[in-house]
Amino acid sequence: MIYSLLIVSSPVSGHCVQTAAEFAHTVIERGHRIHRVFFLDEGTYTGSAASVFAQDETDRIQLWVDLAERHAVELILCISSALKRGMLDQTEADRYEKAGASIHPAFTISGLGQLVDASISSDRLITFGG
């Protein structure tokens, strides 16, 4: 089965983002595939290159980076949501004359069309947060 995920909660508010990442890893371990993960609204903070978690906490961003690196899963930040929150890749930083990128390189900024494509290309679109 092919899954795509929609994440709408911040990585620092509760355990939703961590639960979603663990779900994604479990799905792959069971022989299924994650087509794409789309981060919307507060979920775009998951792509922050500057986030630091306490030593006794799980790094909720690294869970996603590991997923992308190990299994070639696309991690997409909604461009509209990301820009409002200061989440920029180098292209957007240059466009808006900002100092530099603020997202982790494992994440890509793109539009809602990627979410539509994910829902069409997957058997299930699972939403985390709300």
Q: Which residues are catalytic?
A: 78
**Interatomic CA distance for residues 44 and 11, integer angstroms:** 9
Through-space distance between the first and last CA atoms of the chain, rounded to whole angstroms: 24
Evaluate whether 43 touches 8 at the Cβ level (below 8 Å): yes
DSSP for residue 48: B
